[in-house]
Chain A
Amino acid sequence: MNRHNAYINGQKGSFSRESGDLSISPHRFRPQSQPALRRRRQLLVRLGLAAGCSLLLALLFFPSFRTTLMTTASLGLLAPAVAGPELPLETVREYDLSNSDGTARGWEREERVLMCAPLRDAETHLPMFFGHLHNFTYPHRLIDLAFLVSDSKDNTLNLLNQLLTELQNDTDPKQPYGEISVIEKDFGQKVNQDVESRHGFAAQASRRKLMAQARNWLLSAALRPTHSWVYWRDVDVETAPFTILEDLMRHNKDVIVPNVWRPLPDWLGGEQPYDLNSWQESETALALADTLDEDAVIVEGYAEYATWRPHLAYLRDPYGDPDMEMEIDGVGGVSILAKASVFRAGVHFPAFSFEKHAETEGFGKMAKRMGFSVVGLHHYTVWHLYEPSVDDIRHMEEMEQERKNREDEERERAERMKKIKDEFNDPGSEWEKDKNSIEGISQQEDQIRKEHDAAMAGKEAKDQEPTDKPAKEKSDETANKETKEAKEGTDTKKTDGKDGKDTKEAAVPKDTGEVKEDKASKDAEGLKRLDEDTTSKDVQDTKVVKENTASKDTKGVEAIKEESEDKGIKSTKEAKEDTASEDSKATKEIFKDKNIKGSKEVKDDTDSKDTKAEDKNTKDPKVVKEKEA
């Protein structure tokens, strides 16, 4: 071995020319290879930089590029990221239908209820319906709502959407409902929805078949295996108990309906049975059904088909037991609570003539046919909205016209009365003259009487003094109110009561209420005179009368009577003056019969309710004569 040519590691010290048959030999090209390698590396770095820059730019300018890049990148590396959005998908659902059979106390067992409401041009009723929704006491989260909006020309859909969104976003956690489905489907119905065409006989069969179709579509789209109950509710129910779901559920029947009435204006009787589709089958109807053609539909409430069926609606007693049940065969659709198992078994709203019935009536028939219980609660009432029919509107117009006529008449009569009154006001001024003249006479008589009084004045004066003042006040009062007999009574009592001990004894037992305390006066006339005198505010007169009464001097009585009559006339006139301004009614009365009234006034003036006295005055021709004079 040539040691000089050997390296430590045993390699040959030098390459032999023979073995190096490669043209590129390392020792020969080594100095040149380094810059080439560097250049290649620099190229790669430059390429990488350029790619990075452009990628950055692309990412900056095209945001969509980022997601594209991410999916491409994750395609190989992050396989789960692709499946990521799929992972939380649940595709298998399992249900046990025996868990959703429906029991009497569904709210405790958390049974779900599907509430179905078919809608067509129902914009006006929606706010009312949502008012009801807010008030249901059944746990809202257990109620799923399903609406079918079909062939609506108004704003039903938008309004419904808005109200539903509000309902679901309610801050009260008890308000939002469960699943909410709004199903839009047009059946291309030509049938008009206004009251007249809706209830016209000819339109009934086809209309009800179309309604049935709508109901079936709604139910098939919305019924889930989790539902235990299905509640059908019309949106135009005006009033219903908030607890209606629980109330109906408690009966634990397969199909149950309440009674449906509607309020009416007073002129139509205040209320009326509305839903005539809940009935019991009758022999007549069955016989009728046999005579009809296969596609005919018997509809209730029309003279064309006299079925003589007992209707749920007509059996209502407002004070009856609301839990009373009645087996029925046809049901009305305003408010139906049915177990979901009924619908699951296949009962639906026949959109064809099923045993000569369609829609809800056919539903009742079919449920019966399949052996389900169908009952109605005839004393449990919900109230349907009253929509006036064309006839009603016509009638209401007539009534309005009548009312106007009556008002006109009344106005005329009032005017006539006013005219009459005006005519009778003239005598008022005549009376004024009369009054003046009579006053002159009475003043003279007063003069005479004063003289007489002075002569008669005696010990009686002392007794009377304390009562004088009250008597005076009373007389003022009575002067104002004398024409009203009711007031007279009380006034008399007061006056008498305060008037004094002496009058108490002169009782007039006949006059029960008013003159009870007039016992003192033995001599009714005397008493009357006494009162007359009080009215005249002449203390002395009173004294005289008292004296007279005490002395029982009939002569004196007579004399005073005359005076009092004069006085009475005078006071009547005064009264008339008062009442002219205050009490027109009284005035009218006065006008009606001057004479009799006048005598009454006299009586009033005397402030005595003594009937005897009254009789006397009325009968007394003198009074009349004097007045006339």
Chain B
Amino acid sequence: MFAMTLPRSLRRTSPITLVLAGLLAIGFLVFIVSPSSNSDTVSTAKRKITNAASHPLSPPTAPFVKQDTSVEARNRPPPVVHYHLNNVTTTADPITNEETVLILTPLARFYQGYWNNLLALSYPHHLIALGFIIPKTREGNAATLALQAAIASTQTGPEAKRFASIIIMRQDFDPPLQSQDEAERHKKENQKTRRAAMSRARNSLLFTTIGPSTSWVLWLDADIVETPPTLIQDMASHDKPVIVPNCLQRFTNGEGKADTRPYDYNSWQDSQQAADMAANMAPDDIILEGYNDMATYRTLMAMTADKSDGRNTKAIIPLDGVGGTALLVKAEVHRDGAMFPPFAFYHLMETEGFAKMARRLGWGCWGLPNYFVYHYNE
């Protein structure tokens, strides 16, 4: 019986009703279509285009539009580009302010754990640029190949995981970094040359990549394999010029249980003993931390860690020396000239010397003793 009523009702409807129905349908279509103009796909695509430079001669922290290969286009002079550094902010809320972060890593060995941890960072990846410096050695070549493979899969993978720009730099270290074995690396006599070379590598990486738009620089060592995904936001929220988390190492203790031990001894508060030691040193001598024959009695942040579950991860202490395993620096500190001294600067080198130089420039250094990042265990 119902089947009979349908054609009958249709038969009775006037054309005006049909037109109205049609209009309603169109209106519905428009309603469906119009919100899609604000959809995420479109906006990210647009943003990526506006962030991208139009010429390969551009700051490496942003991608650039591939040029057409015609002779005329190649010969066209690059445009005049204005950079408003007054508008580059570094605030406690970097995501809302769309502040770009440059993650710099001196790379000697590639650990998949490092890369996975990087991909897990929750900071918007389109605001992250990565910079690597790799020595031109056999080990470095292997690391480069592994890194390139990881980059290739990430940058062609899901868009949300892609980074804005990636810079790979190769450099001949002078003197070239010897073995990266932990035991060899930490020998005291090797420390000065090693740290000088590391400083140069860090400076080379920093000053060629920082560019005009970077707000924050995150130094992240290649052997940091575990950090909280919110690492950048958490550290930036303290709004300090230089801030460093506590770096630990996971290991299996004597009882066969998983445990953690302090790893980075370069974050410390100075002591009178160390100051006296420095006063009696030759200008080119350096004080090293973590060696028994050089007792500095400094307060080491690594030793003050509260490992309990209910710890206050926001606890913050001022520091005189910082380690470079994970180090968040406001770009203006580096722009003012704070770098990693490859020479004895107040008897300090590399990241510790950097902390000293930053303080000489009027920037304070801070540490988060209860906020942990984990170093790879060799």
A interface residues with partner B (beta carbon < 8 Å): 24, 36, 39-40, 43, 46-47, 50-51, 54-55, 58, 64-65, 67-69, 71-72, 75, 82-83, 85-86, 88-98, 141, 144, 161, 164-165, 168-169, 173, 176-186, 212-213, 216-217, 219-227, 343-346, 348-353, 369-370
Contact = CB atoms under 8 A, between A and B. Distances in A.
Interface in B36-55: 36-37, 41-42, 45, 48-49, 52, 55
A171 B33 CA distance: 48
Contact of B26 (A54, A184, A370): A54
B78 A349 contact: no
Nearest to A50: B22
Contact of A92 (B23, B80, B155): B155
24 contacts: A36-B7, A46-B22, A50-B23, A51-B29, A68-B33, A71-B37, A86-B48, A89-B52, A91-B155, A91-B164, A96-B171, A98-B136, A164-B80, A168-B79, A178-B77, A181-B83, A182-B82, A183-B85, A185-B86, A220-B207, A220-B335, A344-B208, A346-B207, A351-B336
Contacts, number: 227
B80 A180 contact: yes
B361 to A, nearest CB: 5
Contact of B57 (A36, A144, A216): A144
Contacts of A40: 7, 10
Nearest to B61: A93
Contacts of A144: 57
A168 B80 contact: yes
B34 interface: yes
Contact of B66 (A24, A88, A182, A227): A88
Interface in B317-371: 334-337, 339-343, 357, 360-361
B224 interface: no
Given A89-B52, A98-B170, A344-B208, A180 B78 contact: yes
Given A46-B22, A71-B37, 4 more contacts: A58-B26, A180-B78, A180-B80, A369-B343
A78 B259 CA distance: 53
Given A40-B10, A224-B208, A349 B170 contact: no
Contact of A93 (B10, B86, B168, B207): B168
B337 A93 contact: no
Contacts of A344: 200, 203-204, 207-208
A225 B169 contact: yes
A213 B23 contact: no
Contact of B361 (A39, A91, A352, A370): A352
A54 B336 contact: no
Contacts of B65: 88-90
A223 B83 contact: no
B172 A69 contact: no
B204 A184 contact: no
Contacts of A348: 337, 339
Counting chain A CB atoms within 10 Å of each CB, which of B59, B165, B335 scores highest?
B335
A220 B45 contact: no
Contacts of A83: 45
B295 interface: no
B64 interface: yes
Nearest to A363: B337
B337 A351 contact: yes
Interface string B58-91: 1110011110000000010111111111100000
Contact of A50 (B26, B52, B59, B212): B26
B82 to A, nearest CB: 5
4 shortest A-B CB distances, which residue pairs?
A: A176-B77, A50-B22, A346-B203, A179-B57
Contacts of A222: 212
Given A173-B75, A180-B79, A71 B339 contact: no
A149 B242 CA distance: 27
Nearest to B340: A346
A323 to B, nearest CB: 28
A169 B42 CA distance: 34
Nearest to B172: A98
B30 interface: yes
